[in-house]
């Protein structure tokens, strides 16, 4: 990367579907600094989630360059270690594993690391307590409210101490009051941990909370 303070550098990034008939990303150029809180705004189909997936190495671009936390994501390699160490995903639908307890769900990302079993439990429970979920560690996700589930999902995203949190409409499935609580938690984490936070939303008031607001339209930054 050219600039040491940039954790993400994207140049002329393109991604098409249906053999290039539909361009989800059509020449994105973007730099995000370490510890920055950025919101990605735009209507449905503007390319917000696609860009987030590119940054998280869940998908691969067709053209351009993308460097995240020192990794060149255009290289053909397995980026599971990158995702495990550097990225914390939060989805609109929490995507918790229903047959695992709250604590076990948070421990899932650590199974791919060298963390010892006891340490896993300790670390997961500590994070859950910080998210006011300490009283729910042995409960199954089905017994939790939407807001509680999303807090567990936040715990799961944070447990490996990632440098970047990618949140794809984290309040999209919540009522406004619960959504505000989740946003407050995310903002606190960003401030306390100095973690880079990229938040996809189509709610303008949510986008305004970020240090920087990026608007996407038809696969381009507008």
Partner 1 sequence: MKFRSLLLKNITRNKTRSSLAILGIAIGVATILGLGLVTNDLAESTQNALTADAADFSVVYGTTGGGGGQGGAPGGGSSPGGQQLINETKVTEIQQISGVSKAVGVLRTNVDLNDTSNSTSSTTSSSTTSDSDGNMGQGGQGALQMMYSVIGIDSSDLSLDDIVITNGTAFSSENEVIIGEMAAGSLNKTIGDTITISNQTFTIVGIYETGNFQDDSGVVMSLDKLQNLTGNTGMVSLILVKASNGTDATSLAETIEDTYSNELTTSTSLSGMDRMNNGLEVIESASWAVTLLTLLIGSIVVVVTMVKSVVERTREIGVLKAVGWTSKRILTMIIGESVVLSLLAAIVGIVIGVGVVEIISMAQIIPGIQPAFSPILFLEAFLVAILLGIIGGIYPAYRASKLSPTEALRYE
User: Which 155-174 positions form the footprint of partner 1 (CB under 8 A)?
Assistant: 156-157, 160
Q: Where are the alpha helices (DSSP H) in 96-161?
A: 102-107, 117-130, 146-158
Q: Which letter does DSSP use for residue 58 in this model?
A: S
- The residue within the footprint of partner 1, chosen from 5, 29, 77, 117 (CB under 8 A), is 117
Among residues 33, 121, 134, 187, the one that binds partner 1 under rule CB under 8 A: 121
Can you tell me the distance from the alpha carbon of 86 to that of 156, in angstroms, rounded to the nearest whole number? Answer: 13
* Residues binding partner 1: number (CB under 8 A): 32
User: If binding is defined by CB under 8 A, does position 109 make contact with partner 1?
Assistant: yes
Choose the binding region for partner 1 from 6-14, 34-42, 63-71, 112-120 (rule: CB under 8 A).
112-120
| Token pair 């140049």: residue | 11
CB 186 within 8 A of CB 24: no
Asked if 209 and 39 touch (Cβ cutoff 8 Å), the reply is yes
Question: Which H or E element spans position 179?
Answer: helix 176-193
CB of 5 to partner 1, least distance (A): 25
219 binds partner 1 (CB under 8 A): no
Is residue 56 within the footprint of partner 1 (CB under 8 A)? yes
DSSP bridge partners of 17? 22
Start-to-end C-alpha separation, the chain = 24
State the Cα–Cα distance between residues 73 and 71, nearest whole angstrom: 6
Paired tokens of 20: 């290039």
* Residue 81 binds partner 1 (CB under 8 A): yes
Residue in 59, 180, 193, 203 binding partner 1, rule: CB under 8 A: 59
Hey, CA dihedral for 147, 153, 156, 157, is it positive or negative? negative
Q: How far is the CB of 154 from partner 1 (least distance, A)?
A: 13
If one asks whether residue 176 binds partner 1 (CB under 8 A), the answer comes out as: no
Rounded to the nearest whole angstrom, what is the least distance from the CB of residue 188 to partner 1 in the complex? 22
Q: Which two tokens stand for residue 95?
A: 């995507």
Among 108, 178, 180, 215, the residue binding partner 1 under the rule CB under 8 A is 108
Binding of residue 112 to partner 1 (CB under 8 A): yes
Q: CA-CA distance, 67 to 71, in Å (whole number)?
A: 5
Binding residues vs partner 1 (CB under 8 A): 53, 56, 58-59, 78, 80-85, 87, 89, 91, 95, 97-100, 103-104, 107-109, 111-112, 117, 120-121, 156-157, 160
């Amino acid at each position: 990367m050219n600039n040491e303070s940039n954790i993400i550098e994207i140049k002329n990034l393109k991604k098409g579907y249906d053999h290039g008939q539909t361009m989800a990303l059509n020449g994105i150029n973007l730099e995000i600094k370490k510890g920055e809180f950025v919101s990605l705004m735009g209507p449905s189909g503007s390319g917000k989630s696609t860009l987030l997936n590119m940054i998280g190495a869940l998908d691969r671009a067709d053209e351009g360059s993308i460097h995240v936390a020192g990794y060149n994501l255009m290289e053909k390699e397995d980026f599971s270690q990158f995702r495990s160490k550097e990225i914390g995903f939060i989805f609109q639908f929490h995507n918790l594993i229903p047959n695992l307890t709250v604590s076990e769900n948070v421990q899932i990302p650590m199974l791919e690391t060298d963390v010892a079993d006891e340490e896993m439990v300790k670390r997961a429970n500590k994070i859950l307590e910080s998210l006011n979920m300490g009283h729910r560690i042995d409960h199954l996700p089905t017994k939790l409210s939407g807001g509680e589930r999303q807090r567990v999902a936040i715990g799961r995203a944070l447990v490996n101490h990632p440098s970047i949190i990618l949140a794809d409409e984290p309040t999209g499935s919540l009522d406004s009051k619960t959504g505000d609580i989740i946003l407050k938690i995310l903002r606190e984490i960003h401030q306390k941990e100095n973690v880079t936070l990229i938040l996809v939303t189509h709610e303008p008031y949510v986008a305004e909370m970020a240090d920087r607001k990026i608007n996407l339209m038809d696969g381009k930054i507008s």
